[in-house]
Structure 1
Amino acid sequence: MEFTGTTNAAPDRRDWARRWFDPWYDVLAAGEAVGRDDPSTWRRGELRAALERGSTEQLRHHVLALEHGEPVAVAEVELYLRDNTHVAWVNVVVHPAHRRRGVGTALLSHALDVVAAAGRTSVRVSVDRPAAVDETRWPGSVAARRRGFIRGQLAARRQLPLPVPPTRLAALESDARAHAAGYAVRSWAGPVPEEDLEALARLNARMSTDVPRDDLTVEPEVWDGARVREVEAERAAQGRRQWVAVAADGGGQLVAYTVLVVSDDEPERLIQLDTLVVAEHRGHRLGTLVKLECLRRAVADHPAAQRVSTWNAVSNAPMVAVNEAMGFVLDEFIEELEAPLAAVRRTLPDQTLRSRT
C-alpha cells in the first residue's frame, strides 16, 4: 500500500490538493455515507478551503491510501496548537469497496505514527451511527473498541425540520421570558462586533469548562479575540455564514450565546454550533431565548434552510430538553472515544506504508 498526504501548513499543499484532494474527498464521502441517511460530512469546498487556507490554531494532516494507484482509504489527524496538546483527533475512513482487507488497520498504523511524531500521547476518535443501531452492531464502534478505545462521552444529533410552527416558538419564548427578567437578548449576522469580541472569546473559553465532558480528558481552551477572528476567517473562506445571539445580564455582561452557520455548499442545512449559558446564570431559560433569537434571525436571512442540525452530550439534560421542546428529533448518536497512544499501537500488527512522491 502507498500513501500520499499533506498538511494545512505544508508549502506545497495547494499543489497536492490540485492532484489528490478530489479523490481523497470522494473516499471520505463514500465511506461516511454507509448506513446513514443524512451524513453531516463537511462539504467538498469547505474541507478544501480549510486545507488550502491554513490555520494558526490547528494542524490538520490529510492522508490518502492507494492500492495499485487506486484510492482506497483516507485519514485525518487534527492537532490543536494552543491547548489540549496531549491529544490528537484521528479519523480513518475506508471506501466501502475495500473494507475487511486490512486497509483501515494499515492506515491507522500510519496515522498513529503521525500522532507519535507530533508528541501526542492520547488519541481520540468519533463514531457516528444511526440512533436505531446498537453500538455492538455498528462496524465503526466495534472496530474502535477492538483497538482499545474507551467511550468517554455519548453525544446525540437532533434535527429540526423547518419551518417551525410559529405558535410553538411564541409559546416557548413567552414562557422563557417570564424567567429572564433583567436579561437582554440580541443577535447579529456575520463577524462579532468589535465591542463584543473579548466577551465572546471568554464565553468560548467557558464552553470548554462549563458543558458536560463526562469521562473525556479535556483541558480548558485558550481563547482571545484573535482566535475568534481566526475562526471567523476560516468560516468565510469555507463559504460559511454565521449568526450569533447573546444574552446580557443587567450590568451588560454577556452570559449566554449560541451560533448558527450555513454553508454555500449545503444551503438547506443550518448547523447549530456552540450554545452556552455560564453556570452562574442558569435557570433563567437563557438557552431557550438565545436559540430562538438566533433561529429567527437566521431563517429570516436565509429562507432556503430546510432543517437545523444540532449536537449535544446525552448527559446535558437541560440543553436536550430545550432542543426537544423546540421540536428537534433524535436521529444519530456520536461516540467520543479515546485511548493512550501506546495502548492503541499495541493492538496493531506491524504494517508498512510507502510514501508516494
Structure 2
Amino acid sequence: MVDDGDVSIVRVPLPERLGTPESAAFEELVSVMNGIAYELWGNDDFVYTAEAEQASFRAQEFHEKLIFAAVLDGAIVGRVVVDFPLEEDAITATLLVDVAPAIRGRGIGAALLAKGEELAADGGRTALSAYTEHPVGSLPDGGDVVRAAAGPSGLPADAPEVRFALSHGYRLGQIERSSQLTLPLPSATADALLADAVAHSGGYRTISWWRRTPDEFAEAFAALKERMTTDVPQAGIALDDEAWTPERVRQHEDELSGRGEPLLVTVAQHIQSGELAAYTEIAVPDDGDKAEQYDTLVAAAHRGRRLGTLVKLENLRRLGGLAPRIHRLLTWNADENTPMLAVNDAFGFRPHALTGNWQKTLP
C-alpha cells in the first residue's frame, strides 16, 4: 500500500513530437530517470536525451513497451516499464521499476511493481523478469549474500533492492557481471591475443560493417542473432525464443541509429562453407568517451577456436579508427559464462557492477 494518498499511477503516452504540451510528461520522466541514473552510478554513462528515449520506445514491432509513472503532488517520482516480447508463444514480460531516491520507502515502488504485474497478467504472461543494479563500489567486502542457481557471485542480502525483490516474491535467477575496459588496448596485449587467436582460427576470416548489415549477409546474420536465446547461458531465467529475420535486423539497426548509438559489427566467417560462425557488436555513441559492447556469440559448432577473441580484437581495431575518442568499453556477461569471462579477463576488463535478474512466476 502506498503510504501517501496523493500518489497516482498513470499511463505516460509516447509523444509523436518533442517540445510540445503532449510530450511534457514523457520529457519529465526522462529527466527523472536521468537523475536516478546519476545518483546510482555517479556519472552520466546512462543518462540519455529525450530524443534517444523516444527512438527506443518507438520501436514496437517486436516488443510492446508500456510506460506508467508514479505522480506525487503533481510531479513524476518513478516509473514502471512493461516490455512484452511479441513472439506468438511468448510467456515472458520484463518489468523495469525505478523510484527517485528521496521518496523511497513509501510504498511507491510496490505500487509500480503491482501495476506492472497486473499488466503482465492481463497480457497473458506468466514468467516475469525484473532487475537490480549494484555498482562495484557499493558491494561490501563481507556479509550475507543471495546467490543465483549458477555462477560464483552473490548480491548483498541487506541491499534495499534485494530485500524489495525478495519481499515481493521474486527469486534471483541469474547474475550478470558488467565489466569495463580501458581503451586503447595496449599493443603488447593486442599482439599476444591476436597471435593466439590466429594460431587457433585457421579457416575463418573476419568481416566488419558499420550502421547497416550488408544485404548479402542479412539473412545469415539474422540466423546467428537468433541463437542468442539458445546458445547462451540461461540457467535460472525464462526466455522466449526470438525469431530473427533480415527485417528485424534492420529494425534493430534503425532503433539504435535513432538513439544515436549505431552498431559496429564484426563477424567470423567459415571460409569453406561461407557460414557465419561468430559475431560481436559495439554500440558507438555520437559523443562521449564510453561505448557499450552488446552481443558477442560464438555458435556452438564453432567454439574452441578463439573466434570470440578474434572478432572482439577486430571490432576494437575498427573502433579505434572510427571513434578514437572512445576510451571506455562496457560489457555484460552471465556470471556463469566462464569461457567469455576468461576472454574478457585476457583483454583486461575490470569489474564494473553486478546486475540481478529476478524471476517471478504468475499463476
TM-score (norm: length of structure 2): 0.88
How does 1:218-257 map onto structure 2 within 5 Å? Answer: 218-249=239-270, 250-257=272-279
Q: What SS is found at the alignment partner of 1:105?
A: helix
Which one of 94, 101, 109 corresponds to residue 106 of structure 2? 101
Structure 2: distance between partners of 1:139 and 1:23: 26
Amino acid at match of 2:100: H
Given residue 92 of structure 1, which amino acid in structure 2 is its aligned partner?
A: V
Deviation at 1:31, TM superposition (A): 2.6
Q: Distance in 1 between matches of 2:203 and 2:59?
A: 43
Aligned twin of 1:122: 127
What secondary structure does 2:190 align onto?
Answer: helix
- C-alpha contact 1:135 1:142 (8 A) present in aligned 2: no
Residue 40 of structure 1 deviates from its aligned partner by 5.1
Amino acid corresponding to residue 111 of structure 1 in structure 2 = G
CA–CA separation in structure 2 for the residues paired with 1:12 and 1:187: 35
Aligned equivalent of 1:210? 231
* Change in CA separation of 1:34 and 1:159 when aligned onto 2, cut-off 3 Å: same
Structure 2 residue 344 is the aligned partner of structure 1 residue 323: yes
For structure 1, the residue ranges without an aligned partner over 5 or more in a row are 343-357
How many residues were matched structurally? Answer: 339
1:84-124 Cα offsets, whole Å, 9 max, x none, are: 62111001111111111111112222222221222212211
Contact 2:59-2:251 at 8 Å conserved across structures: no
Counterpart pick for 2:282 among 260, 263, 281: 260
Rounded to whole Å, the distance in 2 between the matches of 1:296 and 1:181 is 20
Q: Which moved more, 1:18-27 or 1:207-216?
A: 18-27
The Cα offsets for residues 167-201 of structure 1, whole Å up to 9 and x where unpaired, read as: 21111001110001111112121200000000000
Cα distance in 1 between the residues matched to 2:94 and 2:18: 20
Deviation by residue 1:236-265 (Cα, 9 ceiling, x = unmatched): 21112211101111221111001111222x
1:70 and 2:75 are equivalent in the alignment = yes
Tell me if 1:301 matches 2:306: no
Give me the identity figure in percent. 33
Which residue is 1:24 aligned to? 29
Distance 1:147 1:7 in 2: 27
> What TM-score does the superposition give when structure 1 sets the normalisation length?
0.89
Structure 2 residue aligned with 1:81, among 78, 86, 89? 86
2:42, 2:89 → 1: CA distance?
33
5+ long unaligned stretches in structure 2: 1-6, 141-154
Corresponding residue number in structure 1 for 2:333: 312
Contact 1:151 1:338 (C-alpha < 8 Å) held by counterparts: yes
CA distance in 2, matches of 1:213, 1:16: 43
Aligned partners of 1:157 and 1:334 also within 8 Å: yes
User: Contact 2:176/2:332 (CA < 8 Å) preserved in 1?
Assistant: yes
